[in-house]
Amino acid sequence: MSDCLFCDIVSGDIPADVVRSDELTVAFRDVNPQAPVHVLVVPRRHIINASTVGDGEGGELAAMLVVAKAVADDEGIGGEDRGYRLVLNVGPDALNSVDHLHLHLLGGRAFDWPPG
Ligand code: AMP
């Protein structure tokens, strides 16, 4: 076990509902879903959040977007007639609660813009 919840999910020390997994990323369902589809895509490597991403993390970021699209397709919301929202929270004003980079994939319903 580490002191990072999502590192422990990546390693399998803490169970999660994993929907996709590859060399760079793991995608699993959020335990407190805010939409019919709510999946978190995380890099296997411990990156704190989007504000700490550097040039060396480009591979992970691209992989996260590709996985998000693949999950959206799996869930039936990847087509042009549907769509989804991708969110990266940074810091307390954004209610960022886990210090391991994670991309929220939200879909299966319509969202407001701007968000509440
Ligand atoms: P954020 O507010 O952007 O830091 O998002 C953290 C997300 O992690 C929240 O949506 C939580 O519901 C979710 N979460 C917390 N613990 C777990 C867990 N054990 N498995 C899956 N999702 C989790």
pLDDT of residue 1: 84
Q: Is residue 113 part of a domain?
A: no
CA of 28 from ligand 1 middle (Å) equals: 10
Segment 78-111, tens digit of pLDDT: 999 999 999 999 999 999 999 999 999 999 999 9
pLDDT, position 115: 87
**Catalytic position from the list 38, 46, 100, 102:** 102
Distance CA 53, CA 3 (A): 20
How many domains, in total, are found in the chain? 1
Give the CATH number, domain containing residue 28: 3.30.428.10
pLDDT at residue 109, rounded to an integer: 97
Q: Residue 18: what are its φ and ψ, rounded to 5°?
A: -80, 130
Classify residue 116: in a domain, yes or no: no
Q: Given strand 18-21, what is the order of strands in its sheet?
A: 18-21, 25-29, 37-43, 103-107, 84-87
CA distance 64 to 25: 7
The Cα–Cα gap between 28 and 30 comes to 7
Closest CA to 44 of 8, 91, 82: 8
Q: What is the pLDDT of residue 116?
A: 78
What is the residue range of 73's domain?
Answer: 5-107
Q: Residue 26: CB within 6 Å of ligand 1?
A: no
Whether 30 lines ligand 1, by a CB cut-off of 6 Å, is: yes
> Does 102 participate in catalysis according to the annotation?
yes
Q: Measure 67 CA to ligand 1 centroid, in angstroms.
A: 18
